[in-house]
A and B are shown apart, each in its own frame.
Chain A
Amino acid sequence: MSTPNENAFISGSGIATYLDESDRGPAPKISGQTLTQDFVSLDSKKVSVINVWASWCAPCRAEAPVLQEFSINYPEVQFAGILTRDNISSAQAFYESFNLTYPTFTDDSLLLGFGGSLIPNAIPTTLIIDKQGRVAVRISGEVTVAGLKKMLEKVLSDD
């Protein structure tokens, strides 16, 4: 993976998009190799939080502790990362720095599956997928504790 050639690579605007249930499109099946070389498959019947990141991206570094904390506090929710435009050694070092425990997928072609729903449009992007396997929320840019909590609670309380 290469690093970008701009001061501000396409970095998020910090905009959260929440879709009503009737407007949601299906998320792709998320499975593949992870940073720890395991093969992982997410359960599409569970609420998931998917974070698109790279180790060189400053907002990703700033939000990593928040995501880790949430993954512990919400055991019923699956947390996973998708690595993009980065090399494996840097990503593994990032994982050690921040003591992250949720899996990160290393094949960024997974992102193409989100065409037709909410496609990740910035590094970082955080998506929340509902119990029916549909993309409910997209947060472009760094997540905040308050913002993520509000959106996650909203999706968890869907029928």
Chain B
Amino acid sequence: MADEEKQPKAPGGATHDPDEQARRAVEAVWRIEAPRLVAGLAGLVHDLGLAEELAQDALVAALTQWPAEGVPRNPGAWLMTTAKRRAIDQIRRNERLARNLQQLGREQEIEQRLRSAPTEPAAPGEIQDDLLRLVFTACHPVLSREARVALTLRLLGGLGTEEIARAFLVAEPTVAQRIVRAKRTLAEKQVPFEVPQGAALGERLASVLEVVYLVFNEGYAATAGEDWMRPRLCEDALRLARVLQGLLPNEPEVHGLAALLELHASRAGARTDAAGDPVLLLEQDRSRWDRLLVLRGFAALARSEEQARARGLASGPYALQAAIAACHARAAGADATDWAAIARLYGALAAQTGSPVVELNRAVAVGMAEGPEAGLALVDALAATAPALGDYHLLPSVRGDLLARLGREDEARAEFARAVSLTRNRAEQALLRQRAGMQEPSQGPTMEG
């Protein structure tokens, strides 16, 4: 540092074309500001499609003016003022917007609202309220899951239709259609642009959290060799979860979800080997887990538990899953894992969700905490009571694992062979095939990373 030779620094970049740089700056500001802008406008015009159109108009104005004049000190306020002014102008000149509004029979009402809106920049609190309304509207249960995901990524994640299409491996027109239809549905069903109150909030919040969780998993399931857009979904979901923490600081499950995503994301660098093949959780090199994300996960989990205690609530499903992930993150090595604690947490989660898959995971944890005998008893009881699990490859795979640890090799190999026939994932198939023909007992359960 001290003896570094200092190069004279040119302002700006080295060889950037100034126009290109200005355009990139405008677009970056736009991505930062768009969710709040759309939310603020939707708060005025009570229509998502219209709000987005007005926001786009403001972007066009910014692209025209900022490269010459520089980015204003408060770009968010500039965009909002410009969007409102242009909307009023359009209504007055009876242009496209006015005709759209006439069709809706809302021309006068909207003009009135735009005119009476305060001109000074909105207070941070108001912006947060509008954003929260936007979140609940984009994730409204009148929309299909796909539509909720697409609309949320578009309006709150700032992704374009092309990016969403690539991330979800569907055609772009499909995504564009989904978004158009979603906006139309919200307008036709006259979904109010508001935050649900009282008992409805919990139910509606579940739908919001599910959207963020789905986005994360879509990215998390993609392996390193795939298109970079897919893993990037994890980043988008993480950001959304952190935004939600700021918007709903008293909701334990919001912090629970954030904790779960931070902790799962912390393992991203260790989940695949050099060849790009998946590495099971217990075999991962823990030095490659991201310490910062682990600590953020712990902090979010602590906030979740604190909020639950304050409101006299039991930990919800996201907080419980985060607590399980935290047990793994706290163990310095796989052999230091507190399996008894994990088994208890899976028990609480199974009681809440009634999910046989959760019960199967509990069997794995019990098998680790109390020995393969105890685990096998649970798996066999589960197989008898949950026929739906019969076609799920992890059941024979877990059972094979426990049998192998009991030294019942032939039975174990038969289970692995059955598991091979039930999975379509090639990497998992390879792993199971190897175990179906293997001689030595295994190192642990086949938990996913």
**Are both chains from one complex?**
no
B-binding residues in A (CB < 8 A): none
